[in-house]
Chain A
Amino acid sequence: MTTVTEKLELFEVFVRSKRGLDHKHVGSLHAEDHEQALEYARDCYTRRSEGVSIWVVKSSDICASQEDDADCFYDPSDDKPYRHATYYVLPDPVNNM
């Protein structure tokens, strides 16, 4: 037996809590299409005015890096401590730059 949710598409929901801030991932839901996903997202994730704007994206449209591969994926930046401001030791009177 197939359930209803198996026939529906999965959408990821992003909410902007306040103008000027980034949209932040809050969760996912099943819906027929984008329009329905938006309405569900409103009902499900912003019941207490948590947001001023919602994005819904089909989960299948998201291409994600694999956490298991993190070591080699991020390897090129691991040996570059000089990209950090704290790497540079400056005299106290000018150390606030």
Chain B
Amino acid sequence: MTTPQEENFMRKISAEEKIEPKDWMPDAYRKNLIRQISQHAHSEVIGMQPEGNWLTRAPSLRRKAILLSKIQDEAGHGLYLYSACETLGISRSEMIEQLQSGAAKYSSIFNYPTLTWADVGAIGWLVDGAAIVNQVSLQRTSYGPYSRGMIRICKEESFHQRQGYEAMLALAKGSEGQKAMAQDALDRFYWPALMMFGPHDSESAHSQKSMEWKIKRETNDDLRQKFVDQTVKQIEVLGLEHPDKNIKWNEARGHYDSSDLNWDEFWSVINGNGHCNRQRVEHHIAAHDEGEWVRDAITAYNEKKRAKNAQHAA
């Protein structure tokens, strides 16, 4: 039997109205959102690591300034998302704890190493490109704070993809060696970028309920197809070879047909066995611990200021 509260909640969902923080919501809706938004926030933050790896070795001051700005944006996006998640009643420190203990996940793409400078271009173009496809769809999610966060993020994200593509273009039109480097980065990042959309709809544990509650608006496979379709032309303009030899336009479907993904690799990376899983979390823990003195200093300063103000007032 549904309660009047549940009925009211479902009425809002079906009327395309947003759910706001102080509204009643089913526990499972709240939990599902916390899982998804915190995972999204963690991805923004962990995603700074593979790109940060190339900051000191960027090929020019211009590229370095651009990369620095992009990484700064990712930290900002993490903040938007952590704040949106906090409106659901979970604290920042609980979320960090879940990330560090492995209880919460982040996008498996960031467990791949960045071996060459071209990887930085490939990440901006493909990884941010895939994230944009997902995030554009999530602008219409049913939870108000998440939706507004997505709108803000999407506005900022376009520069990420364009700078990545521009960097790839420079390499692809460069020397033979540079072109080979671009091709290698494309070959390595194309498949993991497709995996960012998650398992097939039939295998996805949370998909059905998330679609019902309009947390997710399009299925994993539909979003992945969009990305496959838009990327074909982009590879062609670069003059690189498509990593998928089975890519073929299907007139009847109005989409490209493509190879299935290596799902064993997908599950293996999700379950902690990617190239960099341990390194990413260890680095996060170390950075967090090393920042302890900054947080302590802020607290000490605030206490001092409060005492001083109290003295003034007395």
Contacts and interface: CB of A to CB of B under 8 A. Distances in A.
30 contacts: A19-B18, A19-B19, A20-B17, A20-B144, A20-B148, A53-B20, A80-B65, A82-B66, A82-B159, A83-B159, A85-B158, A85-B159, A87-B159, A87-B162, A88-B159, A88-B162, A88-B163, A90-B165, A90-B166, A91-B169, A91-B237, A93-B233, A94-B165, A94-B233, A94-B237, A97-B129, A97-B158, A97-B162, A97-B165, A97-B230
B18 A20 contact: yes
A93 B144 CA distance: 35
Contacts of A85: 158-159, 162
A7 interface: no
B163 A82 contact: yes
Interface in A4-42: 16, 19-20, 22
Contacts of A83: 69, 73, 159
Contacts of B158: 85, 97
Contacts of B62: 82
A97 B234 contact: yes
B248 interface: no
Interface string A69-97: 00000000000101111011111011001
A81 to B, nearest CB: 10
A93 B148 CA distance: 30
A90 B237 CA distance: 10
A26 B158 CA distance: 32
Contacts of A16: 20
Interface in B111-164: 129, 144, 147-148, 158-159, 161-163
A82 B223 CA distance: 29
B209 interface: no
B92 interface: no
A87 to B, nearest CB: 7
Nearest to B125: A97
Interface string B1-40: 0000000000010000111100000000000000000000
Contacts of A20: 17-18, 144, 147-148
Contacts of A80: 65, 69
A94 B163 contact: no
Contact of A82 (B69, B129, B233, B237): B69
B169 A90 contact: yes
6 nearest interchain CB pairs?
A20-B18, A85-B158, A88-B162, A19-B18, A85-B159, A19-B17
